[in-house]
C-alpha cells in the first residue's frame, strides 16, 4: 500500500517529509543544548539547510564499521560545506596515496616487460594470470594493457 495518501496530502514523498521533520526537530534540540557550533570551523550553524551530522573518525572501511558508525561519541555537528570540504580533502589524500602506489608499481616494470604483458594479454592470457606472473596488482596490468601506463614506464 505504501504512503500514497500521506505523500499526496503533504505534497512530497512521505519519506522526504519524515526526513525534514526529523532534521528540524534535531536542529531545534541542537540549538537549545548549545551544540550548534560547527565541529570543523567552530562558527555557529545558523540555518537548518547548513546542518550536517558527521563522524569525527570515518567509519567507512574501518575495522568495525557498524560500531564506529553508531558510536554517539563519534558524532559531531557541522556546516554541510565544512563536512563536504573535509570529505573532499580525505578523498584527495587517498587518491594521491593510490596514485603514488600505482606509480611506484609501474616504475618497476621495464619497457620490454610492458611489451611482453601486452603481447601475452593479446594472445588470451588473463589479467589475473599476468598479475600473478609479474607479482603486481591486477589494476597495474589493466593500466598497462589499456595504455594508461606510458607516463610511468622506465626504459
User: pLDDT for 23-46, tens place per residue?
Assistant: 999 999 999 999 999 988 999 999
Residue 117, domain member (yes or no): yes
Residue 123, domain member (yes or no): yes
Name the DSSP letter for residue 136. Answer: S
- For the chain, state the CA radius of gyration: 25
Residue 125, domain member (yes or no): yes
Q: CA-to-CA distance for 24 and 11, rounded, in angstroms?
A: 18
Residue 142, domain member (yes or no): yes
Residue 141, domain member (yes or no): yes
Q: What is the pLDDT at residue 153?
A: 43
- The string of DSSP codes covering 54-66 is EESS--TTSSSHH
pLDDT above 70 (res 149): no
pLDDT above 80 (res 151): no
Q: What is the pLDDT at residue 144?
A: 81
Predicted confidence (pLDDT) per residue in 40-66, tens digit: 899 999 999 999 999 888 888 888 889
**CATH number, domain containing residue 140:** 1.10.10
| 19-23, 57-61, 142-146, range with the lowest pLDDT | 142-146
Positive or negative, the CA dihedral 40, 85, 83, 24 is positive
Q: What is the tally of structural domains in the chain?
A: 1
Residue 2, domain member (yes or no): no
Range of the domain at 130: 108-155
- Strand 75-79 versus strand 51-55 pairing type: antiparallel
Are the C-beta atoms of residues 130 and 121 closer than 8 Å to each other?
A: yes
- Please report which confidence band the pLDDT of residue 138 belongs to, taking 50, 70 and 90 as the band edges: confident
Question: What is the pLDDT of the chain when averaged over all its residues?
Answer: 82
Residue 33, domain member (yes or no): no
- Please report which confidence band the pLDDT of residue 17 belongs to, taking 50, 70 and 90 as the band edges: very high
Q: CA-to-CA distance for 90 and 48, rounded, in angstroms?
A: 25
Q: What is the pLDDT at residue 70?
A: 93
Q: What is the pLDDT at residue 20?
A: 93
Residue 1, domain member (yes or no): no
pLDDT above 60 (res 22): yes
Amino acid at each position: 500500500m505504501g504512503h500514497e495518501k500521506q505523500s499526496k496530502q503533504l505534497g512530497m514523498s512521505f519519506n522526504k517529509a519524515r526526513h525534514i521533520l526529523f532534521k528540524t526537530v534535531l536542529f531545534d534540540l541542537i540549538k537549545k543544548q548549545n551544540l550548534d557550533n560547527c565541529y570543523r570551523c567552530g562558527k555557529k550553524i545558523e540555518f537548518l539547510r547548513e546542518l550536517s551530522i558527521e563522524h569525527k573518525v570515518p567509519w567507512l572501511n574501518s575495522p568495525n564499521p557498524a560500531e564506529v558508525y553508531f558510536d554517539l561519541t563519534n558524532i559531531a555537528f557541522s556546516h554541510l560545506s565544512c563536512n563536504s570540504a573535509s570529505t573532499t580533502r580525505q578523498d584527495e589524500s587517498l587518491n594521491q596515496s593510490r596514485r603514488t602506489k600505482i606509480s611506484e608499481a609501474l616504475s618497476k616494470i621495464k619497457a620490454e616487460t610492458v611489451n611482453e604483458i601486452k603481447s601475452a594479454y593479446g594472445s588470451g592470457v588473463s589479467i589475473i594470470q599476468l598479475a600473478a606472473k609479474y607479482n603486481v596488482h591486477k589494476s597495474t596490468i589493466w593500466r598497462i594493457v589499456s595504455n594508461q601506463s606510458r607516463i610511468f614506464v622506465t626504459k
